Structure 1
Amino acid sequence: MNLATAFAIIVFSVLIRIILCSVNPKFQACEPKTCGNGPNISYPFHLVGRQDPFCGFPRFDLICAPNGFPSLNLSNTLYIVGEIFYRNNSLRVSNPKLQSSNSNNCLSPSNNLTLYGDRFDFAPNQTQLLLFFNCDTSSLPDDMRENRVGCSEGNRTRSVLGLAVDDDEEKLKYAKDNCRGGEVMTTVVENVEGGIAEALGRGFVLKSANWTASRCDECKRSGGRCGFEFEGYRFRCYCPDGDTHRSCPSENRVNKLPLRLGLGIGIPLVITIGMIVWWRWKRKSEDSDSINIYGGHSRFEGSNVYFGVPVFSYSELEAATNNFDPTRELGDGGFGTVYYGKLEDEREVAVKRLYEQNYRQVEHFINEVKILTRLHHKNLVSLYGCTSHHSRELLLVYEFIPNGTVAHHLHLHRDPKKPTVLPWSTRMKIAVQTARALVYLHASDIIHRDIKTNNILLDEGFNVKVADFGLSRLFPDNVTHVFTAPQGTPGYLDPEYHQCYQLTSKSDVYSFGVVLIELITSMAAVDMSRDSDSINLSSLAVRKIQRSELSELVDPSLGFETDGEVERMVVLVAQLAFRCLQNNKEWRPSMEEVLETLERIQSGSDLVQDAPRLPPESPNWDEVGLLRNMKPPPRSPNSVADKWGSESTTPGVSG
């Protein structure tokens, strides 16, 4: 940035401040916005990148989808917001992956829908659906024709069937018998009148008790705009001349408001247009790939590095992924989609394509680049480079990890009739290597904040590569915690962090405890098909362990009942996981303690040590010992290191 540019920006900033001095900037910032299609967005929601966070209630953030509609992140899937009913605290959403206009359109499986915490709840009198993918419908009964909702993506000869969870038993039996090997997905629809396909297109209604609509209505009637004060954690009414807790005073409603808004918006708009025209003219004379200073970091003109990593052009990565061919998609997450690619130098890469270039996505992009460029560990995925943050799209380029995710092997790749591709010895290796990666991160003052089996990748030798650092936080020196809005994945999120907004290294410990339980059980962290009190795996595991019923949870393919060495290690790992899953972070071990314990269990050196005592869960539970009724397993001289065959798997990288 040269002296003339800096001077122009300073002058522009001063003019804006002078013009806006008579109008509350928060009042202006919270003007209702739209994505182009769909409803206007105002409190309790805020539109990321187009409105400030204080314009909405905590965790009520929406982003603009590529189709121009606002979207809401539920279970790591972006649901399109079709309508918002501000007066009765509800909104209608739909899953775009489950919409088809006719039977020739294919549906794409997505994550089971789970509502975590107190943000939203399902409106009453709606229907829970089971979607069975990859069904053979050659003998489909006439009374089930309306249950066919299209084909499975990637296999157009196979169908998808939609059934209500309380549907006729014969229909459910037909789906289970004729949809073997396919995924079963849970979702909700408002009603099934007109057929399953139409119901999926309409979506369903969510409601919220935290909307505080009545207070907002009072604020709007007084001429104000609703918002939220994060520091005091309370509702605010932003008026043209200031803020209040409820409504604006009568003097804010005088006829001077249009004039103030005209001065506050019209003049800056004219100046902004002039600045944009001048800035674009100037940038044409510079290298089209040059990057201006952003957040205190810069790329020097003529260089090919950004934050210390190579910069790729958009066209280069577009060619590497065959124009982002859908058949090359490796994973899909809350921030973007990952594609397999091959560079001109024959390197295989995984390219993450962030959903939309708004402020939040740029922040995610910058954060991941900054985090990964300072990390070098054999159990962390390597960043090869990125595009400029001025590029047409934000793209991150990682090393390609060919053997998929731990979640893929535990959940999607499992066939109960075949031996597991992940025997216990491999699962122990995964646990130890993941713990080593987290210990390294914490020693580097970094909290991952999204540890889950979908973010643990495996190479050909089933060695761990922890991925996805978009939510990671760099802690300042000598700080024990930071206050930040909870972010993460349902089923893995630290309950104390969720309730108190205090992020610490123990938040990663809790998430890792869920991963340990998944390694023991091969069960998903969240599963809507389980009983209501067992949907969350961590709650189910804690309850079973307290009742000395661990054997009911262990994956039968691991040999828990027949191999004493496996039994010994599984019991001790379950004990460690139980400590990690304590609601009070002070009762959880550090990651250093976790790693040390896992290495002792793996080597067998724990046999001569007493098991640690567990903290009390409540005043009624007097230091109950883990698995107190289970006899100590016999020591076996044989380690679980049998040879096993690796099946071909679909390459995967977490999104």
Structure 2
Amino acid sequence: MDHATVVRLTFVVFSMLTPFIAGSDVSSPLVLSPTCTDKCGNVNIPYPFGIEEGCYYKDQDIDDSSFNYYKVVCNDTFDPPVPFFDTSALGIVNITVETSEIRFKHDISFSCYSEGQLTLNFTNWIRAGRFTLSSSKNIFVAIGCDTYAWFTGSRFDSSRPYSIGCMTKCDDLEDTVDGNCNGVGCCQLFIPEAANDLVIEASSFGNHSEVESFNPCSMGFAVEKDEFRFYKNNLSLRAYRPQEDQGFEFRWVPIVVDWSIGTESCSAAQGSGSCLCKKNTVCYEPKNQTGYVCKCGDGYFGNPYHPQGCTDVDECKRDNDCEKSEYCVNNIGGYHCQCPKGYRGEGTKTDKCVSNTNAWLKPVIITAGGGGGIIVLLGIAFILHLKHGKRQLRTMRENFFKQNGGLLLHQKLSGRSMDALKVFTAQDLEIATNNYSDKFIVGRGGFGVVYKGILPNNQHIAIKRSLKVDPSQVEQFINEVIVLSQINNKNVVKLIGCCLETEVPLLVYEYITNGTLYDHLDDAVKASILTWSMRLRIASEIADVLSYLHSTILIPIIHRDIKSMNILLDQNYTAKVADFGASRLVPEDQGQLATMVLGTRGYLDPEYMQTSELTEKSDVYSYGVVLLELLTRKKAIANDRPEIERCLAMHFLVTMKEGRLLNILDKNIVREETIEQIQPVANLAKWCLMLKGEDRPTMKEVAVELENIKKKGSHPWNYNDRPPEDDESLLGGFQRTDTGGCSSGVESDLYDPRLVSTLEIGGR
């Protein structure tokens, strides 16, 4: 009898068994990217599992033609649709990343008899592949009064096969007891550890001839033990026996499978850079399984396999030990209780807050009454010392406030709306960062350290703490703070406010959750999410911002440190330009500024390095290097590359000149449908990298050209109207210096700008 007939006719056997349907995960799991389907029917599909190509994890040691353990097939012939694993007949009930478990639904093995003859028979085969059946959560069950059932199989390493079974006998239905699977009508066994492949068979000692009146069938199956309960009515199947014109309802039972990632250990996967355990996660190797699993660290939650890693749990919104909810302060990875001002104590349920009002008088009176005058005096002296210390701290903060331009800031803000800029106290930010704990550090740079902070209203902020400040530049700093606070552009990290009560002023920005563009390009998994269309959109957003800063606002701003590390991505992969620590305002009627050369090696404008004259075209050059990073996924400077390839800008221009652009592009974005857009973007990058600033485009021109490329798919450049003698690229002119540039004395005839519109992708 074929399997389809069995499905239609049999599961009489389970019509009286308790239905086993495990509840699906109520939380919405993180998928690899917004384009990946997160559900099949009622079942969530979290990464590393997925449905579409590119949405699930692929083992490095499995080729495309092999069975992939993380690929899910959504069968929409069912209503609702049912997910299955690739080439597997086991329907998925749910997948959990917290416990690394999968619940399948599968049918049972049985043999049914009529008048001593076998009428229906089905043997079930469960294949878990690399995954293993949970020995702690599953049991093997046999049901019947004339029954023996067994299963044979192998372990995940295929070196230790096994075979176990049990038998049941009973003479009457009344011999059995509901909920008691003790060998009379029902028996059960534990499943061996590391089992991943088993065949279950059920048979009869005497063809059920003596018990057929109340038990015509033998049954055997593996089932999740917490979901199974034996009922004596399971044996009485007469009301459900096959009739010529009747079909039967098919019932499934659940089974739990443990899953893991790949075949490598944690240390091997981390060493090769392929480990899926990312930020705020822990990697460990489960017993009796290959590979490794990831867990969120204490105080964090989410999908530990997702490139974004786990996020902080806000314990203040859950049950905690604080006396009152308003006393709870959430920290990264934890929380602490804090009494309000004017109270002392820990603020917990066991050490409650007590008012400080007149509290010091009570011990004075008691001690004085007992003749303890010395202790009273010591107590008073201690209180006075504390007050003096607080007065000194307040005086020091007032001095810092004046030194850092606080009075000037108040003067310039008088008559203006204060909504655009909040002036924080030092205590505000100390509380927000748990006194600047190292756990709160989210970034370091040449100009300072960035901390994550959480305000009392649960707003997440980023606090930039500068390494040093020039007292002579205080007025310019205050001017820049005011201007930056008034920038209203969705692609600029919003400046919320500042704190001037510390030795160096602190700037407070909105907190962006998804890391930097550099992080996403440097990580192979994250980079695979950045499709060409996403990279083109990010490039366009950055160009729009720089155009806005250079030409739209009242006082133009030169950023001076444009690089992939200073471009943040939010949860929607929208670009946010950050870190204006090196920026300069451009006074009216002044097109260039004489400044000390600052910036990052590999991104610095060579003309600016030579002349120390900062112009808007310096940002254009740095932007051109960022375009190269988006095109190639290579670092601007990499000492581990051959010398000729060490500087990305130099390597790119040489490659373009030789007609080998395809060789340097990131393979993830090279598709037949993207070539027409990649070529003009590469040409645009080349234009931005012109040696002379006057030969480069403005950022407004760059933004317009990118918009044309997005709309038309291709926008070739036309340099025919430009005099060839005016064209000079990075490849000619300046020699290598130690100030951060990476230009070289390659012959200038390597590059002819008139060839830009005719270069082809690929070698000659």
TM-score (norm 1): 0.49
Greater share of residues in helix: 1
TM-score (norm 2): 0.42
More RCO (CA 8 Å, sep 6+) = 1
